[in-house]
Structure 1
């Protein structure tokens, strides 16, 4: 017989009680468990459904067994030092309600503060997102938050609104009664009934994490990182705030004269991504699921919780996060990517590869004391390798776990570099360069990691732009702000010409091997002429050596302009793979 039991109970609330429990800290609603992703229109629809008496879903809470001595989330004094219930599902909905009823601002996806102003028309019972016209119209209450924030009774609120409206609009007795009824109904939304399913405190973290991953609320899927971020909000709110501030600042270039910031041209990280780096650095773990227990102070042998153990583990996380968010480390790491030929986020096919490479950089810098000039090279080479091979594309946590296991306990710079070199050489064999990579280049994907590695290799080899005296690396500078891209991907065998020759398959026409980076004026001039026509016209602009070097670094076979298209593709893929190999080897 199965001994499986229901792990939750049903509890009924009205909205005023939910808000009260949030106010006193009994229910833990982080300032933002993750950025508030609902639009104001969606909040309006929530209030409209509640006003009409429609069901709007349930909440899922988890009873918190570890409350003694824990730091309360949020700001301000709370009656309870730590919440007895954490929110698993319904956070966006509850944030909406709390923000409107308490007049609180929320953070949007770019970590900017946003005020939610929902307007109500008492005559019609309609809800709208407040705009300038509504704010001028006496028929509307432009911000319903003021009804509850004022502390007035419903009688005073109704009386005040009618007095203001009748000063501008003549109302019949029936209209006054309808308006009074609708305002009372709005005011009584405080009594709206909610059902919460509360998971028992005895439920194992991995079970709760499984619930997190399985639940899909309003299309926003919860994941393992969300769960750990919730623990941070409960037990280390300052650390959560530091993560969010770092990510907020990474999205905006600093103003002239302002202090350094994490802004960069590669990635706009989210808190959960930087958290993964901290966990990898602090606990040598790529899988997040095993960290839930560690951060709650659970002994993995006997299953017992300890506040002292929890505090010790959070101290490890604090130290790791301080290194992860250190701006010197962050920018030095990103400079290693530039040194490897990658210039901006447009060349990054895997953010996992970037983030895990950052964790490995920090291990080399802080744990193994690798000299920075050597670390720059080996990390640039590692990122090039990880991106090229799609190392963290399939089962990234498992792969990273394996990589971290190899580095666990290593404190010697030479051993650190030897382990990375061994991992790279075991995959980048002769067969990889001559067979695997040319086959991978047989693709029409615009965001293929092999294509980005090819361009990075061209940067490393100081390749000129095709049919130009400028360098590829110069025109890929992300700081260039132009109306039109300085470089464009150009079909060497133009699409219209190939279609005229009977080739209709776009996957064949748009092969990576049929593209080269050109300055946009040249791209326009070439138009739809076949290479046998336009190449002889361009040839006189260059010396013999310039022409030969340009063809070599753009992987163009001899007399390619006269080759059959299918033969050209096969020959160029092999040459492109060799350019990638040469670029990679310059990083040794």
Structure 2
């Protein structure tokens, strides 16, 4: 119990002091330079609560492990190069307050700058998000940031507002007094009291997360990536800026001959790319183990060494440079396309995608493998990891184990051999003949086995069902239409099944009842029985084309006349065969 009492202390601030400490760098506030997730309406509610004198929650700070005598920057000797306190909980609140009181713009979730404009009506003390109507209404101050950023005295601003409003509406002396009182109360928000819990620098990140959960009413666990991103803001701002600029650019298609990280698989967030860099730099899949490394903690003495910290950040910086290299980035996605995955629509696991990129970089950077070797090996690995859901359950633990097993590998040939060994040990005949067919017994809309089936069709050059076009062409992500070029079609239509006694929705939506068809066919088929619509479509095709279409779509000849449950069983086996042929073609 005594140890718990010494792990933090309580410190009281007023808002003006907090803003000052942020200004001089004593408190690190990285959110001004990272995506701000609060909506303006939530910022409005924060100001309204403070104005009414309501409590708005604790702040949670963590004393930073910095060397004494940290260098100073600028002319003001009070400015700190390294913050003394890191914000663990309360970042969004302080970002909101700092942005409004200092008139600073924030980044939104799409990495676009925006101004938070909170309006105030002094006549009744009402806050609102500014809009066009409010900006035209003289009763409102459309952006309260101007009150603090103008440099004018509060009395001058109060008198100026009353005078301007008096030109539009007639005000009594009592009304003027009431408006002045409400404006004074607004200015007094700078004196609003905050209580912070400041955790000692010796406390480990797991304990910090536990403290956070215990005092936070929402009970949301801290993300380990948030800890490391905060460290980047403090000790390596350029690294964090580079990550965020890359993520921002990945959301915007390149124009003309410009280069861009934009792709059809992933709009990455900084913490996702950070995971890849950590895997490449330190052979770690668990971020929590890297946190202590980047703080510069000596595992023997427990002391924090600035030089050790700098050395570790140098290693991370080199790894991140490879992660953000556009050639590496796009070549990796080419490996996925080569494996049959045309876009993110066929990817059920973001973890598999990110960890696949880490293995691509390990093969290229650490082992110097040729691109043609990587394209085949990583394409197969991603197909395998996606198909088996390798990184679906406890992804950090599984990846950490994978990285541990290749830590002692010292040649490219051994690395490729390890990848192949992992694949063949799991994709046995029993997997193809028993496990995979049973996994097709599902109605999940984003089942990884179904996506692997579509990827295999792409890889095999399969025609679209009931069409001479190919699945690959119709899944081209660069083609944008008002409707999807291909739609999932129920071979036995849902309405027909229900009319024939199949009342269970899971049974009607079985994966084995799905096929990709062009959407005009889907509309035409509607709720017709397979025995009715299939013979009409059959007339369009030769015997050879009809047989080939069935082979690529895992359809037994004469399926349209089968009992539904018998059809599902046979098709699951055939679909597993299609996936196997598509995967084996990658070799």
Name the TM-score, length of structure 1 as normaliser. 0.97
Separation in structure 2 between the aligned mates of residue 337 and residue 219 of structure 1, nearest angstrom: 38
How many residue pairs get aligned? The number is 586
1:157-182 deviations in Å (ceiling 9; x for gaps): 11111121112221100000000000
Tell me by how many angstroms 1:78 deviates.
Answer: 7.2
Alignment correspondent of 1:290: 289
Q: Aligned partners of 1:373 and 1:239: how far apart in 2?
A: 31
Match of 2:167 in 1: 167
With over 3 angstroms needed to count, the CA separation of the structure-2 counterparts of 1:29 and 1:133, relative to structure 1, is same
Superposition CA RMSD, Å:
1.9
Query: 2:462 — aligned with what?
Result: 463
Q: 1:209 Cα shift?
A: 4.5
> What residue is the counterpart of 1:125 in the other structure?
125
Aligned equivalents of 2:470, 2:4: Cα separation in 1: 66
* Match of residue 233 from structure 2: 233
Q: Report the alpha carbon displacement of residue 572 of structure 1 after superposing the two structures with TM.
A: 0.2
Q: Corresponding residue for 1:346? A: 345
SS in structure 2 of the partner of residue 10 of structure 1: strand
What secondary structure is seen at the aligned counterpart in 2 of 1:231? Answer: helix
CA contact (8 A) 2:31 2:92 kept: no
1:331 corresponding residue in structure 2: 330
**Structure 1 equivalent of residue 63 of structure 2:** 63
Alpha-carbon distance, 1:435 to partner: 0.6
In 1: Cα distance, 2:151 partner to 2:10 partner:
31
Following superposition, the deviation at residue 543 of structure 1 comes to: 1.0
Q: Secondary structure at the match of 1:88?
A: strand
Instruction: Give CA deviations for 1:420-442 in whole Å, capped at 9, x if unaligned.
Output: 00011111111111111111100
Matched, 1:572 2:535: no
Partner of 1:120, secondary structure, is strand
* Bigger Cα displacement from structure 2, 5-14 vs 552-561: 5-14
Q: Does 1:444 align with 2:443?
A: yes
Distance in 1 separating the partners of 2:214 and 2:285: 21
The 5 A counterparts of 1:100-499 are 100-211=100-211, 216=216, 221-257=221-257, 259-499=258-498
- Once the two structures are superposed, residues 6-46 of structure 1 have per-residue CA deviations (whole angstroms, 9 ceiling, x without a partner) of 41111111100110111111111114475211100110010
Deviation of 1:370 after TM superposition, in Å, equals 1.1
| Structure 1 pair 478–216 and aligned structure 2 pair: CA distance change class (3 A) | farther
Aligned twin of 1:20: 20
Secondary structure at 1:541 match in 2: coil
Given that 1:33 and 1:226 are in contact with CA atoms closer than 8 Å, whether structure 2 keeps it comes out as no
Given that residues 33 and 107 in structure 2 are in contact (C-alpha distance below 8 angstroms), is that contact kept between their aligned partners in structure 1? no
Q: Structure 1, residues 547-571: CA drift from partner, whole Å, max 9, x if none?
A: 1100000000121111110000000
| C-alpha distance 130-73 of structure 1, shift in aligned 2 (>3 A) | farther
Question: Secondary structure at 2:481's aligned position in 1?
Answer: coil
2:30 and 2:230 in contact (8 A); partners too: yes
Instruction: Give secondary structure in 1 for the equivalent of 2:179.
Output: helix
8 Å Cα contact 1:68-1:81 kept in structure 2: no
CA 1:182–1:218: 2 relative to 1, 3 Å: farther
Tell me the distance in 2 between the aligned counterparts of 1:256 and 1:104: 33
Shift of 1:212: 5.3
Residue 220 of structure 1 and its aligned partner are, at CA, apart by 6.4
Q: Distance in 2 between matches of 1:352 and 1:395?
A: 10
C-alpha separation between the residues in 2 aligned to 1:337 and 1:452? 13
Q: Distance in 1 between matches of 2:520 and 2:509?
A: 21
Q: Distance in 1 between matches of 2:485 and 2:129?
A: 42
**Shift in Å, 1:255:** 2.5
* Equivalent-residue separation in structure 2 for 1:261 and 1:411 (angstroms): 33
Whole-angstrom distance in 2 between the partners of 1:67 and 1:500: 75
Give the superposition deviation at 1:210: 4.3
CA contact (8 A) 1:216 1:222 kept: no
How much does 1:204 deviate?
Answer: 2.6
Residue of structure 2 equivalent to 1:509: 508
Of the structure 1 ranges 492-501 and 299-308, higher mean CA displacement relative to structure 2 is found in 299-308
What is residue 518 of structure 2 aligned with on the other side? 519
Distance 1:152 1:371 in 2: 65
Partner of 2:46 in structure 1? 46
Give the Cα–Cα distance (whole angstroms) in 1 for the partners of residues 402 and 132 of structure 2: 56
CA separation of 1:547 and 1:469: change in aligned 2, threshold 3 A: same
- Measured in 2, the distance between the counterparts of 1:155 and 1:248 equals 43
Distance in 1 (CA, whole Å) between partners of 2:199 and 2:2 is 20
Tell me, yes or no, if the aligned pair for 1:16 and 1:190 is still in contact at 8 Å: yes
Checking the alignment, whether the CA contact within 8 Å between 1:265 and 1:344 is kept in structure 2 is yes
**SS state of the match for residue 267, structure 2?**
coil
- TM-aligned CA deviation for residue 277 of structure 1: 0.3
For 1:70 and 1:272, how far apart are their aligned partners in 2? 28
Return the offset for 1:206: 3.6
- In structure 2, the CA distance between the partners of 1:100 and 1:445, relative to structure 1 (3 Å rule), is same
Q: Cα deviations across residues 183-207 of structure 1 (Å, max 9, x unaligned)?
A: 0000110000110010012223442
| Matches of 1:342 and 1:424, distance apart in 2 | 18
Of 133-142 and 59-68, the range deviating more from structure 2: 59-68
CA distance in 2, matches of 1:253, 1:116: 27
Structure 1 residue 247: deviation in Å? Answer: 0.7
